[in-house]
Structure formats: structure tokens, C-alpha cells
Amino acid sequence: MIVDCAYYQDGRRQAAGTAPLADAAARRGQGGFVWLGLFEPTPEELDQVREAFGLHELAVEDARTFHLRPKVDMYEGEVQLVILRTAQYKDKEEDVEFGEISIFAAPDFVITVRQGVASELRPARQRLEQRPDLLATGTSSVLWAILDHVVDGYTPVVAGLEDDIDEVENTVFSETAAPAERIYSLRREATGFYRAVHPLVGVVAAIERAAVPEVQPYLRDVQDTLVLVNEEVAAQRDMLSTVLEANMAVLSVEQARISNRQNATMEQLTILATIFLPLTFVTGFFGQNFGWLTGHIASFATFMIYGLGGLLVPLVVLVSWLGRRRTRS
């Protein structure tokens, strides 16, 4: 779908509204440049754009597929293909959603193809149209406007990740185990974001070297912001690795505490079972209806000696033995 199409000359948009594709392509070589914006175009629309602007088929194929990393390629006719990854952080899901912008840049045209959750480029276009001095320098200014807009969109992602990482870090270092799944999920999102940011540093550097001198300072400013974002994302990945290790240590301590409590409980149950084992034997023995037992235990004194005495003697012996064991340990 064509979002906007305009012809710029001498730093000014030459007509309001969206120009037809054929008319815009026909104005190439008249001293200005065309900026065509597409959002999730169909294969037929891309084929029309390729024929109208003479794009290489491999470059168009790149614009149809998603890439894990930003890159910049050069094609015949001084056509530069720049692929960027946009990012948006969903705080509730703690998830980074990525989109992609493919930019075909030549001296007389710029074509942007947005796929997925991509940044809206209308603010970048409107901002650049308010700077006729930069627009007059050519298509390098369009690359700067898009890069600056995309990199500015990285800042909320860094902030969102930072807030969730701080929350997990405070939980772990308060000696309370955090869900390991949450830490793994955050680290996966930070790693994916790092793959989108880190290669872009080299891409922006290459674009800066090829840009006109008037635009190079602005691209260096974008580069400075991008380097800072890259360092912060790398630090977040390292922090999540540290938090994961600390969380595993907290889990180990907690498991050790649970194991100690279980061992203490088992020791108490074992002591009780040990105490009642001889008593059960004695009571079971004297509870038999043998003639000798029924004939000799006829008085209260005999009952006290054989009955309660048979219970107390093994109990005293067992308690004494357990006391000596605790004293030695």
C-alpha cells in the first residue's frame, strides 16, 4: 500500500497530496528526488515499483523478507539498500515487538518499505519538510530523518527493559527467588533487541561516510545516540546474566533450607519411631495369651514390674543412647 509519494526540489515539496507512482517516477532526473513510502506492499505493488524505478530484483526480494540484523548493500545505479529493525516494548507482556524498514536510496529517489510493527514515518517526513535547508541537500537528508526517528524509538524500549530488570534485580537481591522463566524471557528480549541495535552502529557509520558533508554532523549525532543505546543494551544483557546466576544461588540456598527442615522433621519422626518400636514390641509380647504370662502376672506388683518396667527400661536405655549421640555430635 502506498502511504505517501512526493517529489521534492530545492528543499520543497512540489505538490500537496500523494502523487501517482508513474508521475513520480517520470520526474526522476529533473534535479530533485522522489520519496515513496510503502506499508506492507503486495508482491504486485513491489513489482510495479521495481519496474518504475529500475530496482534490482535481489534488492526487492530483500524487502519482502524479514531480517534478524540491519544491513546496508550497494546495487547498480548507485542504489543503496538499507535495512533497519524497529522496536516497540510492551510493558504488560514484557515483550519487544520488532518491525522492519527497507530503504532504497539513490541520488534521485528514496523508497521506504515498512513491514510488521514498524515506526510511523510520517513524523520524520513532516519534520524534514520543515527543514528545507536539509531537504535541499538530497536523499542523504531522508536517510538521516528516518534513522533519527528509528533510533529515538529505541529509547522507550531501553527504559522499559530497565524498569523490569530493576524489579527482578531488587527481588533477587532481597534474597527472594524470582521466577526463572521471567529472567530467561527478559534476557531473550534483550538479546533480540541487541541484535537489532548492535549491527546498526556499522550501518550508520557506512551511511555517514557516503552522505553529503552537510548531513554528516546530523548522522554523527544519530551515531552517538545509537552507541549509547548499544552500550546500555549490552549492559542489560550482562546484568540479566548476573541476576540469573544470583537467582540460581538464592534458589540453591532456599532448597538447602527446605532440605534442612525436611531432615530435621525426618530426624524427629525417626526418633519417635525408634522410641515406639521397643515399646510396641514389649506391649505386644505381654499382650499374648500364653499360660505362663496369664498365670504369673496376677497381682498389681507383678504387673508394675513386668508391664511398666518392661516399658520403662528400654525407654530409658534409648533416651540415654540418643543423649550420648547428640553430645558427641
Residue, of 150 and 65, whose pLDDT is higher = 150
Q: How confident is the model at residue 19 (pLDDT cuts 50, 70, 90)?
A: confident
Q: How confident is the model at residue 286 (pLDDT cuts 50, 70, 90)?
A: low
Confidence at residue 130, expressed as pLDDT on a 0 to 100 scale: 92
The domain ranges of the chain are 2-253, 287-328
The alpha-helical segments, DSSP class H, found in the chain are 21-26, 43-53, 57-64, 122-129, 132-135, 139-152, 154-173, 180-210, 216-286, 291-296, 300-302, 309-328
% of the chain surpassing 70 pLDDT:
85
pTM beyond cutoff 0.85 = no
Query: How many other β-carbons are positioned within 10 Å of the β-carbon of residue 112?
Result: 25
pLDDT at 247 over 90: no
Which three-class secondary structure state does DSSP give residue 105? strand
CATH superfamily of 2-253: CorA soluble domain-like (3.30.460.20)
Rounded to an integer, the average pLDDT of 268-283 is: 70
Query: What is the residue-averaged pLDDT of the chain?
Result: 84
Q: How confident is the model at residue 160 (pLDDT cuts 50, 70, 90)?
A: very high
